[in-house]
Structure 1
Amino acid sequence: MKREPSVREVLDRLVGDAVLSPEQAEAVERALRAREPRRGRVPWAEVAGYLGGGLVLVGAVLLVATSWGRWGEFARIFVTGAAAVVLLAAGGGASGGLGRRSAVRGRVSGTLLALGAGAVAATVGVALSDRAGAGAVACGAGLVVAVVGYVLVPSVPGVLASAGFLAATLLFTLDATVGITALNAGLAVAGGGLLVAGLAFGRVLPHRETGLVAGLALAVAGFQHLLGDERAEPAAYLLTFVLGAGCLALLRWERSWVLLVAGVAAVSIAVPEAVWDLTGGAVGGALLVLIAGAVLLLVSFAGFRLRRDAGGG
């Protein structure tokens, strides 16, 4: 069997035929070598970065929690603050500066900065543990650090940390001011989720799909939380349905699997809830499943019609 010539042999032949210069051949070989998948190599540096960052944060929290009664306030703040400094410094160092960075560096740096935001929130929470509104201030500090970290080093953990701290800040702020109810907590979380989803949909967030997932998940969870208030039950399934219908309507202009899944899920949740409420709970579980299936079929039919009208086949 005839052996296939290697890349180096092919390039040498092209140089000999004066098709490529030696410098061009070297450049082509380097480019091809860079594109070759490195099989069998475990990204130990990346794995170590994730594990190290997680262990630093968890270790600091556990150390403070298990020694709370024996340590003074300064010792508690020092441990959590040191963890925050280590994580943020490591995240900044892993980013490689403000210039062009590799994908691996970006992932590790973004993860460490998100963990650093959690450590900052823990530090502020420990420092203000005996004061009113400590949770709101702590989560607000974590939100600021998470957002700044995401702006400097965009990453999936940065989006998730920012969305989580936003929801937590809203809830703790309500708790510290007017008090939490099912109505205001649900609307606050849903509003925060819609803000995140809107930024993602408007292409403000580089990680668009992650932002849509986080934002729409918070929005659905917030609207569903209204079910805890008997007077707000109609608003719960009505707003969930409107959200789902809006996501499905946007598919006409934006083909996104996140909008599709969120729309189908929200509508499938809202319709059975509305039927159950309007019938006073007279409809059984089997019929609710049947109704949910019928809704999915209608959504599927509407989707195919929209695709045909748009000329998508």
Structure 2
Amino acid sequence: MVREHRVRVALERLVAGGVISGDQRDAVLRAVEEQDRARRAPAIRVVAEIVAYLGAGLVAAGLGLFLDRAWSDIADSGRVVLLAAVAGCSLGGAVVLAGGRAGVFRRVPLASAVRTRLAAALLLLAAGATSAVVATAFGERGDDAEIAAVLAGLLVAILGYLMVPSLLGMIAVAGFGVATIAELTAETHRALWQGVALMAFGAVWFGLAWARRLVVDWAGFLLGGLIALVGAQSVTLGESLWRPALTVLLGVLCLGAYLLRREPVLVVGGATCVALGVGQVVADNTTGGPAVASIVLAVGAVILTVGLVVLLSGSGPPR
């Protein structure tokens, strides 16, 4: 939708500038629409994708029912074998869907979008099953087993993303990464280090997205921003202003990045972080009441008005 809107805007500007005629604009739009229709999957393939997802869901539901009803009757060794089989079959199925050895470990997957999504779902299942294997095999070791389990899941999630780059794979890596940091910094007195580690992890996502090393750049910015925001909010140093200060700093960095990379998620996230940080400062350092809230509201309204005036004044048709 965004690309289509940009194409239409560019064509309208060319028409307004007298570069092309209205008929030529319509011809270009018709050609673009024909290409889009040609790329769309036929109905039978859409139905096949729906059936495949339904089948995967029923398999997961059946596995869950089996584990709920018969898990206590299976020995630990049997549980490990069962979970390992699920992980292995998921990995194998993902490789087949991705096109075999020639289709994995590529920056852009060779398989169709449907097969890539299904392969990513299987790789996510493989990461979860691997984590469960480690947790089951070393469950008697307590916290060490939990740390090893999330680390194993993280490693398989990273491997899965490298095999078949996808948005779902990015979410899996981010989720297992946050879980790993949470497990490593689970003790209360390590809250500071948990926040710092989460912010560093978020910065890694930002760096990869900025360098265009991810399959979906905007998702990298979004995941990095959310993780860094959680990290900023996790830093607790008594009554200090570290949490709101770091949150505002994160927002300023996002807004600055938007000047160089026009990703909508950057400006929305940056404005949200700044507003959250300012709100925290006001709430923590004032006695409340409508006066302070009115001042913040008035300042926000003035800034919004200035931004709208500048935006509207610069959005006229090209000369």
* TM, length-normalised to structure 1: 0.76
1:137 aligns with 2:148: yes
Which of 98, 111, 121 does residue 101 from structure 1 map onto? 111
Unaligned runs of 5+ in 2: 1-33, 104-109
> What residue in structure 1 maps to residue 183 of structure 2?
172
Deviations 1:185-237 (A, max 9, x none): 222222212211221122111211111111111111121123xx351651111
- Per-residue deviation at 1:264? 1.0
Identity of counterpart residues, as a percentage? 32
Q: Could you tell me which residue of structure 1 aligns to residue 274 of structure 2?
A: 267
Q: Which has the higher contact order (CA 8 A, sep 6+)?
A: 2
| Contact in 1 for aligned 2:185/2:191 (Cα 8 Å) | no
3-state SS of 1:231 partner: coil
Which residue number corresponds to residue 208 of structure 1? 217
For residues 108-134 of structure 1, the C-alpha deviation after alignment (integer angstroms, 9 at most, x for no partner) is 111211221111111111111111411
* Structure 2 letter corresponding to 1:78: V
Match of residue 255 from structure 1: 262
Kindly indicate whether the alpha-carbon contact (under 8 Å) linking 1:60 and 1:79 is maintained by their aligned counterparts in 2.
Answer: no
Q: 1:33 to 1:293 in 2, by over 3 A?
A: closer
Query: Would you say the 8 A contact 1:60–1:80 is kept in 2?
Result: no
Deviations along 1:13-61, whole A, 9 cap, x unmatched? xxxxxxxxxxxxxxxxxx9797175676572332233344445455545
CA separation in 1, counterparts of 2:297 and 2:203?
A: 25
Post-superposition shift, 1:94? 1.2
Under a length normalisation based on structure 2, what TM-score does the superposition of the two structures give?
A: 0.75
Partner of 2:127: 117
Kindly indicate whether residue 92 of structure 2 is the aligned counterpart of residue 89 of structure 1: yes
Higher helix proportion, which one?
Answer: 2
Counterpart CA distance in 1 for 2:294 and 2:190 is: 30
Q: Which amino acid aligns with 1:124?
A: V
Unpaired runs of at least 5, structure 1:
1-30
Residue identity opposite 1:120 in structure 2: T
Confirm whether residue 161 of structure 1 aligns to residue 172 of structure 2.
Answer: yes
Whole-angstrom distance in 2 between the partners of 1:241 and 1:224: 11
Q: Which amino acid aligns with 2:82?
A: V
Question: 2 CA distance for matches of 1:32 and 1:307?
Answer: 34
In the alignment, does 2:82 pair up with 1:79? yes
RMSD: 3.4
- Which deviates more, 48-57 or 118-127? 48-57
Aligned to 1:18: none
* Larger radius of gyration between Structure 1 and Structure 2: 1
Q: Aligned residues, how many? A: 277
Residues in 2 aligned to 1:33 and 1:187: alpha-carbon distance in whole angstroms: 45
